[in-house]
Amino acid sequence: MQLSLSEDQSQILGFLDGLTKPYASVPMHDHSLALTSGELDAALVENGFLDVMAEEELGPATAALVVEKLARLPFAVEAAASALVRRLIDPELPRPLCLVEEGQLRKPVRFLADGATVVVVGPSGVRSFTVSADLIGAPQEDTLYAYPVAFLTGLPDTLTTHDVDPAEITRAWRVALAAEAAGLLGAALQSVVTYVSERKQFGRHLATFQAIRHRLAEDQVVTNGVYWLAIRAAASGSQADAAMAALHAQEAAKRVTYDYHQFLGGMGMTLEHPLHLWTYRLKLLTAELGGRGANALAAADALWG
Amino acid sequence: MNFEWSEEQDAFRQTLRDFLAANLPDDWEKFSEHGPASPALTAFARDFCKKLADVGLLFPHWPVEMGGEGLGPWEQQILAEEMWIAGEPRGGQYMNVNWIGPTLVKYGTQEQQARYLQPITEGKSLWCQGFSEPDAGSDLASLRTRATLTDGNYVINGQKIWTSYAGLADTCFLLTRTSDDRKKGITILLVPMDTPGITVRQIPSLIGEGDIHEVFFDDVTVPEGARFGDEGQAWEIIAYSLRNERLGIPRFTLARAALDRAVAMLKDAGDFAREYVRIEAARCATLCEAAATANYAIVQKRVDGLGVGPESSSARFATVMCERAVCEFVVEFVPEALAGASPYLKMHHQRGIVAGIASGAAEIQLNIIASDVLELPREPR
Ligand SMILES: Cc1cc2nc3c(=O)[nH]c(=O)nc-3n(C[C@H](O)[C@H](O)[C@H](O)COP(=O)(O)OP(=O)(O)OC[C@H]3O[C@@H](n4cnc5c(N)ncnc54)[C@H](O)[C@@H]3O)c2cc1C
């Protein structure tokens, strides 16, 4: 075991911090439900951050670390699927990469836009296509997620079939989900900790109420758990690890999205506090890959058959 | 005990449903997405409430001497349930009939009653509730908005926040500080919102347009006659009002209706066979029914003419539990609903997420249950 960051990893994460600094806070007076930035996306691609998995000395654990760190930004960027899944299918697939469960076209698709690659993953295989505007539903005003989302209206007549094991792609998807959730959970926790440490009611900081302290402390425990399970699952490549990481991520997401808005009181209902930029991404992640029940069953299957 | 509605109560519910069917537009569901405080719904509600008033359904639970039909707490419950399930087409006016009107009758001067009751009963007025301040939320008694009596006028300075409906309201039920005594220094003023010196700013929110605002008072001057009750009587009066307010929103019925919709969507998509989805759905339904029975037990107390005590906090928290569960069910299994596929479920979500905050934080309810229901020793101060 060696659980501290390697020198390469430290360097990469340090460099990533520098590169993303301009995106580390919400632009003044911006009250959007979701924040995105084309420049941030381009800078990540240009500097190879989404391809670290391919580097032998870095590999999937480093890719997961990068995804986790990026998810801490208030800006939503399509990194998880590109950094942790794309290479296993075809490293040349154009981004953004939109992973879709077979038979689940009813669900909103994150980052779906003209020219994106849609990968349909399911029991019958892994197939992809470059999406054109005619397959994207009319834009919906006011979705309640902090990701750009859209609906597919159908699949094209022909899709490219990839000669890969769908179980392996699903595994990587679970890791991607968990790594992204880990960053979102960490950033959301930090933002709430700051708020309750500053806000006073009844002549004391909210943070001094044990009702809040214990729940936040438990939130820290599960957030830490998701972080380690996600990185381990990335490193190990094990089906059981991936399913447990995804399950823990979704359990944690469900728990904190309630707690955190609750602890902010009225402020937690506004778009003036940035909390939703993390929690309203976590909400959508709880729905992915069938949700907690499906990931729990996958974990049980992998652990005990 | 008997858990069935009586024939009259069923008939009353049916009357309400028929009325709604006849008076809500075809695109109502999409329309109700605007939220109860939006300009669109507020404008709609003015028409709608007038129609309700015309057939005696705006405030049938008020006593006959107040112009109501003298129906009991069960009918008030049924009325609230049917309106809330339908997306609350009364907009902010539900507040008028639930607590503003009854409070005016109990504590208002003749002049105040003459001025304010009629517009309420005609479905014309919209009130807002100026209680919370930036530094006085859960700790409401620490509020600081000052009202100083000089030459027969109160001059008001300070700020309120989270004020629902403030952008469109005609009158504010305002809590002000008239002396330093924590609770006995608070006084209610009824303030017309067009009084010079009032500035309203809408706060962009997760819960829809027009719902929450900041309201600033700069040397706002109202005559002494705007005082509601005596100086320092606010705490007693709002204890009475809030009891009515908190029973006013039967959230569990909307949560249950939302759950049924979500399950219907899953069935349509062929996705309701998986056991874990069914188990979660059943859990949610159970929480809704637990909240319903807890709330009904309180209604029964009112029917029996008994005082409603801290057990109302228990009923309220049961409601928070079911709202939370249904919101989470929809997010986990029908995520498309919140991205445009179901205006109804989105509307529910936006109203559901405030259940543990609006009209008092859930943790405060838990403190009340711990201290006053369980009678646990209090935390040392
Ligand atoms: C949609 C909406 C509509 C509203 N409409 C109105 C309105 O029309 N008029 C009006 O006056 N107000 C209104 N409010 C305000 C509402 O009453 C307050 O938000 C509420 O009382 C909480 O106050 P706060 O927001 O200042 O939160 P705070 O008091 O800062 O509390 C934040 C959180 O801290 C925790 N907390 C606080 N105290 C304790 C404690 N003692 N022990 C443990 N935990 C604690 C709770 O989790 C709480 O949610 C509205 C709020 C919302 C969300």
Q: Supply the residue whose CA is at minimum distance from atom 29 of ligand 1.
A: B138
Whether the per-residue pLDDT at A141 is higher than 80: the answer is no
Domain containing residue A179: CATH number:
1.20.140.10
Q: How high is the pLDDT of residue B63?
A: 87
Atom of ligand 1 nearest to the CA of B361: 49
Is residue A303 lining ligand 1, measured as CB closer than 6 Å?
A: no
Whole-angstrom distance, CA of residue A48 vs CA of residue B285: 49
pTM of the model: 0.96
Is B212 in Cβ contact with A270 (below 8 Å)? Answer: yes
Lowest-pLDDT range of A12-16, A48-52, B13-17, B97-101: B97-101
Which chain B residues contact residue A177 at CB under 8 A? none
Q: Supply the residue whose CA is at minimum distance from atom 17 of ligand 1.
A: B359
Whether the per-residue pLDDT at B306 is higher than 90: the answer is no
CA distances for A289 relative to A117, A127, A178, A286, A296, angstroms: 18, 17, 11, 8, 11
Q: How high is the pLDDT of residue B244?
A: 64
Q: How high is the pLDDT of residue B249?
A: 83
Phi, psi of A33 (to 5 degrees): -75, -35
CA distance B299 to chain A (A): 27
CA distances for A80 relative to A49, A97, A176, angstroms: 11, 9, 5
Nearest Cα neighbor of A286 from A190, A137, A180, A215 is A180
Extents of the domains making up chain B: 7-125, 128-232, 250-373
The domain defined by B250-373 folds into: Butyryl-CoA Dehydrogenase, subunit A; domain 3 (1.20.140)
Number of domains in chain A: 1
Q: Report CA(B211)–ligand 1 centroid distance (Å).
A: 14
Whether the per-residue pLDDT at B115 is higher than 70: the answer is yes
- Host domain of residue A172: 167-304
Is residue B129 lining ligand 1, measured as CB closer than 6 Å?
A: yes
Whether the per-residue pLDDT at A218 is higher than 90: the answer is yes
Q: How high is the pLDDT of residue B175?
A: 98
Q: Report CA(B315)–ligand 1 centroid distance (Å).
A: 18
Which among A194, A200, A201 is the best mutation to test ligand 1's pocket, defined by most ligand atoms within 8 Å of the CB? A201
Is B276 in Cβ contact with A293 (below 8 Å)? Answer: yes
The domain defined by B7-125 folds into: Butyryl-Coa Dehydrogenase, subunit A; domain 1 (1.10.540)
List A205's β-bridge partners, or say none: A200
State whether residue B362 sits within 8 Å of chain A by CB.
yes
Is residue A169 lining ligand 1, measured as CB closer than 6 Å?
A: no
* Residue A195: inside a domain: yes
* Residue A56: inside a domain: no
* Residue A62: inside a domain: no
* Residue A99: inside a domain: no
Q: Report CA(B174)–ligand 1 centroid distance (Å).
A: 17
Closest alpha carbon within chain A to B141: A202
Whether the per-residue pLDDT at B246 is higher than 70: the answer is no
Whether the per-residue pLDDT at A11 is higher than 70: the answer is yes
Lowest-pLDDT range of A265-274, B199-208, B216-225, B247-256: B247-256
Decide: A247 and A231 in contact? Cβ < 8 Å.
no
Is residue A262 lining ligand 1, measured as CB closer than 6 Å?
A: yes
Is A106 in Cβ contact with B274 (below 8 Å)? Answer: no
Is residue B205 lining ligand 1, measured as CB closer than 6 Å?
A: no
Closest alpha carbon within chain B to A107: B336
Is A292 in Cβ contact with B353 (below 8 Å)? Answer: no
ipTM for the predicted complex: 0.97
- CATH placement of domain B128-232: 2.40.110.10
Strand (E) positions, chain A? 97-101, 109-110, 117-122, 125-130, 149-150, 160-162, 200-201, 204-205
Own/partner pairs, A139-144, CB within 8 angstroms, 24+ separation: A140/B339, A140/B340, A141/B340, A142/A33, A142/B340, A143/A33, A143/A108, A143/B338, A143/B339, A143/B340, A144/A33, A144/A280, A144/A283, A144/B206, A144/B338, A144/B339, A144/B346, A144/B349, A144/B350
What is the average pLDDT score of chain B?
Answer: 94
CA distance A167 to chain B (A): 20
Between B205, B274, B362, which is nearest A271 by CB?
A: B205
